[in-house]
Structure 1
């Protein structure tokens, strides 16, 4: 079951990069959600006014090189972003018809606490390690943040490069969240630690519910 989910989604994961002349620098993960070249990612990894590009990571089941000396970036445009929910919709600028599974966005409330999940991303892209990593997780809980955002909490500590990647329901075989980072409730709420209280070293992470990404995609397709 886990192998099937990994095979289904690893090809849709993309490296989001900032392009400057002949060089690109890694920003985070993203994933394709529609055959017309739409991708979802986390809004906060995207710099303002910069040229963006998508780069396919290294995928496969064999022993693969960890990095590439040269890449073929595909220009990206920002279609819309929801800063409050930390979700952004991007699109490949060339009109490329993508061969990908349909109906990959699921219902974030179908899985019960304890359900098996998988997160995918390029966790070490900042270190020029360009491999997709698939990681098993358990749905630990759901919380409503102070800003009113539905968050899915899962029992894996993600790396910074994972931010923007998909969180997938293994049973449903669909994306239910967009990886946001390590779950630190104090930092997440924009608060500070009380004096004498040690910062939380959390082994949990969170994802924004996919409903926010779905809403951005549906609005774009209606135009």
Structure 2
């Protein structure tokens, strides 16, 4: 009987054959280690700020309805960001921090239109808090890491990438949330309100929703939207918005159109629907108009449009610049206050 090949002995000792699993110019172990180090480093920055939120709602029966979700501290003095649908209508809120302590929380304000809410807990000393990043510079394909309490399992981490940008999502109130981030970092019930972070440990979104029955299609409200909502909630306890009565979507503007009309932005907002009798209808806006400016300020997307229609423009006539077929028009529209 011939001598057994040496590579069989190597396999028995757990040593792979020469060249097995290797590609010229690549070190898979080094790549994996680098990825792992990136994720671990990001988590070390944000995980101490992530909290589990327990909710009790008034119910018609003898016992209150209970629910839970996630949130995260974004200031050292006890302010947390979470989803509106997690805390809206709650009779009692309690927050369990990463280090294990639990305390009651107060609702500062919530905004169902963006599915965001701010809570406050007592903070006798500075608390670990997450750094809010910048969602405007996100790119499809970059690392995205979700942290939260899916199914009550606190401090659960899932990873993926930014799958798409600029999505629209209908909130539980029936209104559209614009400029939503799509990710394949797995989310489950209970993840709602937790942070979606980048490789630097900065929060780029607030985890919001999944599509039941789908796999790896999850959504987060962009953190730039959240920053604006936070300032509104601090100032008014709610978000006051000017309303003109349109539904729109961000669209690219052809380069020749940009040059011809001297536009600085490469995108605008196409009007998809106009509410009958609304300020937009009364001002002459039409479906398929592309909004490019508000009072001379470039409008490069639906998120910019929403921010421009803030409390300062309620009951004040504004000039809306649109591209209609081959014309550049300026239309006068007087927004009203959006109903809560």
Per the normalisation by structure 2, the TM-score is 0.50
1:111–1:169 CA contact under 8 A, matched in 2: no
List aligned pairs for 1:35-50, cutoff 5 A: 35-50=76-91
1:89–1:213 CA contact under 8 A, matched in 2: no
73-82 vs 144-153, which moves further:
144-153
Aligned match of 1:158: 187
CA distance in structure 2 between the partners assigned to 1:30 and 1:208 by the alignment: 13
1:31–1:166 CA contact under 8 A, matched in 2: yes
Match among 225, 228, 237 for residue 212 of structure 1: 225
Q: 2:161 aligned with 1:138, yes or no?
A: yes
| Bigger radius of gyration | 2
CA distance in structure 1 between the partners assigned to 2:66 and 2:207 by the alignment: 20
List aligned pairs for 1:1-223, cutoff 5 A: 1-18=38-55, 25-57=66-98, 72-92=101-121, 94-100=122-128, 104-125=131-152, 129=153, 131-145=154-168, 147-170=176-199, 172-183=200-211, 201-219=214-232
Give how far 1:57 is off.
4.4
Q: What secondary structure, in the 3-state scheme, does the structure 2 residue paired with 1:3 have?
A: helix
1:15–1:26 CA contact under 8 A, matched in 2: no
Cα RMSD, aligned residues only: 2.6
Q: What secondary structure, in the 3-state scheme, does the structure 2 residue paired with 1:124 have?
A: helix
Aligned match of 1:195: none
Q: What secondary structure, in the 3-state scheme, does the structure 2 residue paired with 1:11 have?
A: helix
Give how far 1:19 is off.
5.2
Give how far 1:203 is off.
2.2
Q: How many residues align?
A: 187
Give how far 1:95 is off.
4.0
Give how far 1:110 is off.
1.8
2:43–2:201 CA contact under 8 A, matched in 1: no
Q: What secondary structure, in the 3-state scheme, does the structure 1 residue paired with 2:120 have?
A: strand
Residue segments in structure 1 that go unaligned for 5+ positions in a row: 59-70, 185-199
Give how far 1:204 is off.
1.1
CA distance in structure 2 between the partners assigned to 1:17 and 1:90 by the alignment: 12
Give how far 1:97 is off.
3.0
CA distance in structure 2 between the partners assigned to 1:144 and 1:37 by the alignment: 31
Q: Which has the higher contact order (CA 8 A, sep 6+)?
A: 1
CA distance in structure 1 between the partners assigned to 2:45 and 2:156 by the alignment: 13
CA distance in structure 2 between the partners assigned to 1:155 and 1:165 by the alignment: 15
CA distance in structure 2 between the partners assigned to 1:8 and 1:113 by the alignment: 23
Q: What secondary structure, in the 3-state scheme, does the structure 2 residue paired with 1:160 have?
A: coil
1:37–1:96 CA contact under 8 A, matched in 2: no
Residue segments in structure 2 that go unaligned for 5+ positions in a row: 1-37, 58-63, 170-175, 237-340
